[in-house]
Amino acid sequence: MAETGTDIQKAKLLLQQNELVAIPTETVYGLAANALDPIAVAKIFEAKQRPTFDPLIVHTFGLSEIEAFTTGIHPVLRKLAETFWPGPLTLLLPKKSNVPDLTTSGLDRVGVRVPDHELTLALLRELQFPLAAPSANPFGYISPTAAEHVNKQLGDKIRYILDGGPCRVGLESTIVGEENGEIIVYRLGGLSIDAIERVAGKVSVQLNQSSNPNAPGQLKSHYAPVKPVVIGNMNALIEEHKGKKIAVLSFGNFSGNDNVFMEKNLSAHGDLREAAANLFSYLRLLDESEADVIITNFVPAHDLGLAINDRLKRAAAKN
Ligand code: TXA
Ligand code: MG
C-alpha cells in the first residue's frame, strides 16, 4: 500500500525525483509525474499498463503557464479557459517541442487542464514543471474518486497518494479542441455541452465509439467493472436475470424488487450532479459485491446525464 496524506512537500520531492504521486482533482484522482520528462512519463504508462497510443493530459495551475509548453491558443478556446479554469475542461492545444512524444502519443496537440482542487493547485504552484496525469486506475477499469480507490488498485506502484477527499464532480474532464475554426468536443465529461456552448457558440461533438489509436480515451469498452453490466428497463432485466444475484444501480425513485440482492441509488431525488459524483464509487461497490450481474438504466439525457450515459455505455461494452 502507498503512504497517504496531505503533505505537499513530500509530493513535491518525490515528483522532483521522477517518482509517481497520485493527486486529487475535482473530477477523478490522477496518477502524476513530470509531464516534460519522458522517463517520468514512461513510469505512468508502466504502472497503469496503458497502451502508449493513449496520450496523457498535462495539468498546470493557470492559463498564464501554458505558454511554456504550447505554441498558441485559439481565441474561443482561450475564452473557454478563462471561463472554466480551474475546472473539468481539457483543451487540446498545439504543443511545443519540450513536450515529449510519449506524453502526447506522438500527436501534435497536447491536452491541458487546470484542475479545481486546492491541494493539487498548491502542489503545481510549487513545481517547476507541469504534471502529466491520467486517471489513477489500471487501464480500462473504473476511474478512482477517492484516495482508497487508488490505493487498492495501484498502491504497490506509487510512492505517495495526496489525499484530497472524495472528488466533487466524479466524471473526467470534457475534452475540447479546434479544427479549421470549428470547436469540437472529443470526450463528454464533467463540464456540460450546454455550459460550453453558452461561451463558445455551437460546437460539434465527435466521440469515437470504437478502438481508434487517435481516440481520446474513447475506447468502446472503458471505465468497466469486472462483472457484466446490462442497461435497459430495470424491472424487465431483473425478471430476465431471476435466480442470479442481482445488483442494481438506480436513479430517482426506483422501487426496490424482492429479486434484488443489492441496490445503490445514484441520486434518489434525481439530481444529475449528485449522480455523477456517485457513479464510479457506486459501480465499484457493486463490482466488489457478491452480485453476479449489475443492472442499470440510462439517466435523463441532458446536462451531465449525457456524460453519465456515455460512461454507462462503455462500462457495459465488451472488449
Ligand atoms: O478529468 C480528467 O481529465 C482526469 C484528471 C486526472 O485530470 N484525467 C483523465 O485522464 O481522465 P485519462 O488519461 O484517463 O484520459 C484522458 C484522455 C485520454 O484518453 C487521452 O486519449 C485524451 O484524454 N487525450 C489526452 N491528450 C490528447 C491529445 N493530445 N489528443 C487527443 N486526445 C488526448
Ligand atoms: Mg482514464
- Minimum-distance ligand 1 atom for the alpha carbon of 172: 1
Quote the ligand 1 centre to 127 CA distance (angstroms).
21
For residue 256, is pLDDT > 80?
Answer: no
Give the pLDDT confidence of 142-165 residue by residue, as tens digits: 999 999 999 999 999 999 999 999
| Low-confidence winner among 54-68, 100-114, 248-262 (lowest mean pLDDT) | 248-262
**Which ligand has the minimum distance to the alpha carbon of residue 186?**
1
What percentage of the chain carries pLDDT values higher than 90? 90
Query: Which of 247, 277, 288 minimizes the C-alpha distance to 264?
Result: 247
| Low-confidence winner among 64-73, 168-177, 254-263 (lowest mean pLDDT) | 254-263
- Minimum-distance ligand 1 atom for the alpha carbon of 27: 1
Quote the ligand 1 centre to 187 CA distance (angstroms).
9
- Minimum-distance ligand 1 atom for the alpha carbon of 30: 6
Q: Which three cell numbers stand for residue 173?
A: 474532464
Give the pLDDT confidence of 62-108 residue by residue, as tens digits: 999 999 999 999 999 999 999 999 999 999 999 999 999 999 999 99
Q: Which three cell numbers stand for residue 198?
A: 453558452
For residue 211, is pLDDT > 50?
Answer: no
**Which ligand has the minimum distance to the alpha carbon of residue 223?**
2
Is residue 15 within 8 Å of residue 179, measured between CB atoms?
no
User: Looking at ligand 1, which residue's alpha carbon is closest to its atom 6?
Assistant: 30
Quote the ligand 1 centre to 255 CA distance (angstroms).
37
3-state secondary structure of 157: helix
What does the pLDDT read at residue 224? 77
For residue 232, is pLDDT > 80?
Answer: yes
Of 59, 175, 314, best ligand 1 pocket probe by most atoms within 8 Å of the beta carbon: 175
Q: Which three cell numbers stand for residue 53?
A: 497510443
Mean pLDDT, to the nearest integer, of 183-192? 98
What does the pLDDT read at residue 263? 95
With cut-offs at 50, 70 and 90, classify the pLDDT of residue 212.
very low
What does the pLDDT read at residue 219? 61
What does the pLDDT read at residue 258? 82
Query: Which of 9, 217, 73 minimizes the C-alpha distance to 133?
Result: 217
Of 28, 172, 221, best ligand 1 pocket probe by most atoms within 8 Å of the beta carbon: 172
What does the pLDDT read at residue 31? 98
Looking up cell 475546472 gives 87
| Torsion angle of C-alpha atoms 132, 135, 139, 144, degrees rounded to 10 | 160
What does the pLDDT read at residue 173? 98
What does the pLDDT read at residue 70? 98
Mean pLDDT of the chain: 94
What does the pLDDT read at residue 209? 54
User: Looking at ligand 1, which residue's alpha carbon is closest to its atom 13?
Assistant: 134
Residues in contact with ligand 1 by the CB-under-6-Å rule are 25, 27-28, 30, 54-57, 88, 90, 92, 104, 107, 109-111, 113, 115, 133-135, 172-173, 175, 216-217
Mean pLDDT, to the nearest integer, of 248-271? 92
Quote the ligand 1 centre to 256 CA distance (angstroms).
37
Of 57, 60, 145, best ligand 1 pocket probe by most atoms within 8 Å of the beta carbon: 57
Spatial neighbors of 187 by CB under 8 A, at least 6 apart, are: 90, 172, 173, 174, 175, 207, 216, 217, 218
Quote the ligand 1 centre to 243 CA distance (angstroms).
40
pTM greater than the 0.85 cutoff: yes
- Minimum-distance ligand 1 atom for the alpha carbon of 135: 14
| Low-confidence winner among 4-13, 32-41, 225-234 (lowest mean pLDDT) | 225-234
- Minimum-distance ligand 1 atom for the alpha carbon of 88: 1
What does the pLDDT read at residue 220? 66
As beta bridge partners, residue 34 has 131
- Minimum-distance ligand 1 atom for the alpha carbon of 173: 1
As beta bridge partners, residue 175 has 90, 187
Is residue 75 within 8 Å of residue 89, measured between CB atoms?
no
Quote the ligand 1 centre to 55 CA distance (angstroms).
6
